């Protein structure tokens, strides 16, 4: 008896009744609530002349081990307080999402301790010389721990990649003024839409020409063109794909996404692309938000070390990626589901299951954390207007925006480390040659077309993002 059949045999144990599948059972809404809560507290403190900066500490740049030791000796109460805050917030959210308390707490203790170590290593003055960008180190260390089976599997309860990444994206919204999103959003939407549609069609027709079932081909297509695993799962249900088809797409997306976390930053670095251009290219070429943010942040670190680079290279790379991937690609998931559902019902061989995804699913499947990202940007823009742009500039950078940015960096660090800690190669479904070939043909087009649009067509645009 398969696991899924056993879960079904357990009757209601495997089914969440309608209505119980509410917003508090979704990690999107928890990320939105926590992210906006942090931003509101930071803004309130700033308004009353205080700041969240004491709590939002990050390791300082260091050259000698003594400097690092001095930093921790002087600031350990701040790290303890920050850890306690994260522990409470993360535990409440993950337990509400269905994780076990006894697994979540030790998992987060481990995650935070390892994140501090990797963060500190990344602040070493010579780290860039040895390619020790924190997202890449986090991934390698996490992969080693997971695949050498050094931790109990139950600790995955605290290694929730999506939750941390969505929380980081909401916090990121508070560091981008609404005017910037309004300025760059349409270009991101246009560019991402072109790349998404072309990539989907290439993968779909490549798969069909290789004799792959149309439902499987559609799931492969959206896995490469929209938002990776999340799109694959949503469209698998919309078209009624076989369980194993989605499992294969998950394996392929994970493989390519992890490969691209390393390949794209180094390729962009070899081409000496400006940070914003590299971030936009990664945004059109990566397959998942978490993997893409890891690549974009790593590339920002690389671009920042180029002589003459501006101080905000990391922020520019991450912002360009987010606009391209999250705003430009992810938001279309409901429309893809509706269109492909109609095609499946009217054009493809029947499965015996009657299903039609309607227009209401465009909203139901909308990635709600994007709303949090936009609300955060609107909120911080209103605060800036209320305070007045002249006074807002310097004080807000150090007392309001920087603390939020630091907490965002922590959230992303937890997410990047969790990617590696949950990737067990032996768990993944076996992948056949034909689906791999079909998906890979889309990767080639995706990366090539993304480069043309990000570098050659809109390069000047992305190079000056936020400046």
Partner 1 sequence: MRPGEAHCIACRYFVNDPAAFERALPGLAVLSSARAASRVGDGLCSHHDRHVPETASCAAFALVAPHG
Shortest distance, CB of residue 420 to partner 1, whole angstroms? 9
103 belongs to the binding site for partner 1 (CB under 8 A): no
The candidate with the shortest Cα–Cα distance to 276, out of 411, 466, 133, 407, is 466
- 242 near partner 1, judged by CB under 8 A: yes
CB closer to partner 1 out of 192 and 401: 192
**What residues between 34 and 73 interact with partner 1 by CB under 8 A?**
none
434 binds partner 1 per the rule CB under 8 A:
no
359 binds partner 1 (CB under 8 A): no
Site for partner 1 contains 154 (CB under 8 A): no
Both structure tokens of 399: 């007392």
Structure tokens at 24: 């508090």
CA dist list (Å): 63 to 134, 139, 302: 16, 24, 18
The answer to whether 254 and 423 are in contact (CB under 8 A) is yes
- The rounded distance, in Å, linking the Cα atoms of 243 and 236 is 8
What is the phi/psi pair of residue 267, to 5°? -65, -45
Pattern 290-319, partner 1, x by CB under 8 A:
xx----------------------------
Instruction: Report how far residue 355's alpha carbon sits from residue 217's, in angstroms, rounded to the nearest whole number.
Output: 18
Among 161, 202, 344, 384, binds partner 1 (CB under 8 A): 161
Q: Which of residues 217-236 bind partner 1 (CB under 8 A)?
A: 227-231, 233-234, 236
Give the nearer residue to partner 1 in terms of CB position, either 60 or 97. 97
Residues binding partner 1: what is the number (CB under 8 A)?
77
What is the closest distance, in whole angstroms, from the C-beta atom of residue 18 to partner 1 in the complex?
5
Rounded to the nearest whole angstrom, what is the least distance from the CB of residue 368 to partner 1 in the complex? 4
CA distance 461 to 187: 9
Residues shown for the chain: 467
250 contributes a contact to partner 1 by CB under 8 A: yes
**The token pair that represents 44 in the structure block:** 């309130």
Instruction: Write the DSSP symbol of residue 60.
Output: P
Cβ–Cβ < 8 Å for 209, 222: no
Token code pair at residue 70: 């001095």
Judged by CB under 8 A, the residue of 149, 153, 364, 386 near partner 1 is: 364
CB 75 → partner 1: shortest distance, Å? 33
Binding of residue 149 to partner 1 (CB under 8 A): no
User: Considering the complex, what minimum distance in angstroms separates the CB of residue 40 from partner 1?
Assistant: 22
Q: Are 91 and 112 contacting, i.e. CB atoms less than 8 angstroms apart?
A: no
Interaction between residue 257 and partner 1 (CB under 8 A): yes
Q: Is 102 in the site for partner 1 (CB under 8 A)?
A: no
């Amino acid at each position: 008896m398969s696991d899924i059949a056993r879960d079904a045999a357990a009757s209601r144990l495997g089914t969440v009744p309608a209505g119980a599948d509410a917003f508090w059972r979704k990690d999107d809404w928890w990320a939105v609530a926590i992210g906006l809560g942090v931003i509101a507290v930071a803004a309130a403190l700033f308004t009353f002349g205080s700041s969240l900066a004491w709590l939002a500490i990050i390791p300082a740049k260091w050259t000698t081990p003594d400097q690092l030791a001095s930093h921790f000796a002087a600031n350990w109460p701040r790290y303890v307080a920050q850890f306690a805050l994260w522990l409470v917030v993360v535990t409440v959210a993950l337990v509400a999402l269905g994780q076990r308390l006894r697994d979540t707490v030790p998992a987060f203790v481990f995650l935070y301790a390892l994140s501090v170590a990797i963060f500190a290593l990344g602040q070493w003055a010579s780290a860039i010389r040895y390619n020790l960008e924190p997202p890449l180190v986090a991934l390698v260390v996490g992969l080693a721990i997971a695949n050498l089976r050094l931790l109990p599997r139950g600790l995955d309860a605290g290694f929730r990649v999506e939750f941390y990444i969505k929380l980081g994206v909401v916090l990121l919204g508070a560091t981008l003024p609404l005017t910037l999103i309004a300025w760059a959003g349409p270009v991101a939407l246009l560019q991402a839409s072109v790349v998404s549609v072309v990539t989907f069609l290439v993968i779909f027709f490549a798969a069909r020409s290789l004799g792959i079932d149309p439902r499987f081909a559609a799931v492969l297509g959206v896995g490469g063109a929209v938002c990776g695993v999340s799109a694959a799962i949503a469209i698998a249900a919309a078209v009624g794909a076989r369980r194993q088809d989605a499992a294969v797409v998950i394996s392929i997306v994970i493989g390519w996404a992890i490969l691209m976390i390393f390949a794209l930053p180094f390729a962009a670095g070899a081409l000496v692309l400006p940070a914003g251009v590299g971030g936009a290219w990664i945004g059109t070429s990566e397959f998942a938000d978490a993997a893409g943010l890891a690549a974009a942040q790593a590339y920002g670190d690389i671009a920042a070390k180029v002589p003459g680079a501006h101080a905000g290279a990391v922020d520019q790379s991450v912002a360009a990626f987010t606009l391209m991937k999250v705003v430009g690609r992810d938001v279309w998931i409901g429309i893809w589901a509706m269109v492909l559902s109609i095609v499946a019902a009217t054009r493809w061989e029947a499965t015996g299951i009657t299903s039609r995804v309607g227009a209401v699913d465009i909203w139901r499947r909308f990635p709600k954390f994007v709303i949090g990202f936009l609300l955060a940007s609107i909120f911080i823009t209103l605060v800036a207007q209320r305070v007045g742009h002249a006074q807002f500039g310097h004080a807000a950078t150090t007392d309001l925006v920087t603390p939020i940015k630091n907490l965002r960096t922590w959230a992303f660090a937890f997410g990047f480390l969790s990617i590696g800690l949950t990737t067990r190669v032996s768990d993944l479904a076996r992948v056949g040659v034909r689906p791999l070939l079909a998906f890979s043909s889309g990767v080639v087009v995706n990366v090539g077309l993304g480069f043309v649009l990000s570098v050659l067509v809109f390069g000047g645009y992305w190079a000056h993002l936020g400046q």
